[in-house]
Amino acid sequence: MALGPFAQNGPVSEFDDATHMETDGSGRVHPGWDINGNANGGYLLALAARHMVTVSGRPDPVSVTAHYLSPGKPGQVQVDAAVVKAGRRFTTVSGQMHADGKPMLQVVGAFGDLSVPSSDYEHLASGPPSLPPFENCVPRRRRQGMVDVAMMDRLDVRIHPDHAGWVENNRNGVAEMAGWFGFADGRPIDTLALLMVCDAFPPAVFHLDMPPGWVPTVELTVHVRGVPAPGPVACVFRSQFLQGGFFNEDGEVWDSAGRLVAQSRQLGLTPLA
């Protein structure tokens, strides 16, 4: 699948429009980036980080952590952000997203410039997930039983065929979800978009013998490791521990050149009917 960049003077992508923030930190949670009416957590993180990037004066999120305080509904929001420390390589910013005085998201992040690697030395204990070609993977549908994943009108998420059985209640018992991510309108994937990529797939725990349902995010951390090469990104998410009503999910995102460009860790609540 070819995902060419938008021309500099071409149309604004849906993602850029939906994450637009004014210089004073005001913005909107747009409809259509939600699951059953609740805005996707990765979308909310990207919306907040868009303003935090501006405040930091650096082009890229490097490590961003968000605590989710209340569901995101369409409408006006305000992101208040301030520099905690500006160093030589990174600027640390703290921020809060709120709507009508009600806090939605508490965020802290380090921002920098990932266009030039700081070191040539590399050690990789593993590589990209083994995936069939993009066109041979299963599109994530908008309608999944009683669940309306409205953001699938704007994303092109393809699931590994071996990981798609949960939709038909055919779970494989292995808490792993892998596949490809692209934007439906062809927008290139940059470092800000990686924040959404890390929360765009069905939870890996859906493969376990438990009722699927809404899995509220308590905390999400994304480490951005590099600027993605053009093309869709290969993703894999795994959960190792589900206990006491909580589960972890660890993610990896690899670009078309086979480079690791993001890692994530999420703490969520077990599915609620």
Residue 229 has pLDDT above 60, yes or no: yes
Domain residues for 100?
14-115+131-269
| Mean pLDDT confidence for 142-150 | 82
Enumerate the β-bridge partners of residue 76. 28
Mean pLDDT of the chain: 92
Q: What is the pLDDT of residue 5?
A: 36
Q: What is the pLDDT of residue 272?
A: 64
Q: Is residue 126 in a domain?
A: no
Q: Is residue 157 in a domain?
A: yes
Q: Is residue 218 in a domain?
A: yes
Q: Domain of 46: which CATH number?
A: 2.40.160.210
% of the chain exceeding 70 in pLDDT: 94
Q: Is residue 122 in a domain?
A: no
Q: Is residue 178 in a domain?
A: yes
Q: How many domains does the chain have?
A: 1
Minimum mean pLDDT among 91-105, 138-152, 195-209, 251-265: which range?
138-152
Q: Is residue 125 in a domain?
A: no
Q: Is residue 240 in a domain?
A: yes
* 176-183 vs 217-224, strand pairing mode: unpaired
Distance CA 242, CA 154 (A): 31
The three-state (H, E, C) secondary structure of 83-113, written as one string: EEEECCCCEEEEEEEEECCEEEEEEEEEEEC
Query: Rounded to a whole number, what is the distance in angstroms from the first to the last CA of the chain?
Result: 36
Conformational region of residue 258, where left means phi above 0, alpha means psi within -120 to 50, and beta covers everything else: left
Decide if 112 contacts 64 (C-beta within 8 A): no
Q: What is the pLDDT of residue 175?
A: 94
Q: Is residue 8 in a domain?
A: no
Is residue 260 classed as helix, strand or coil in its secondary structure? strand
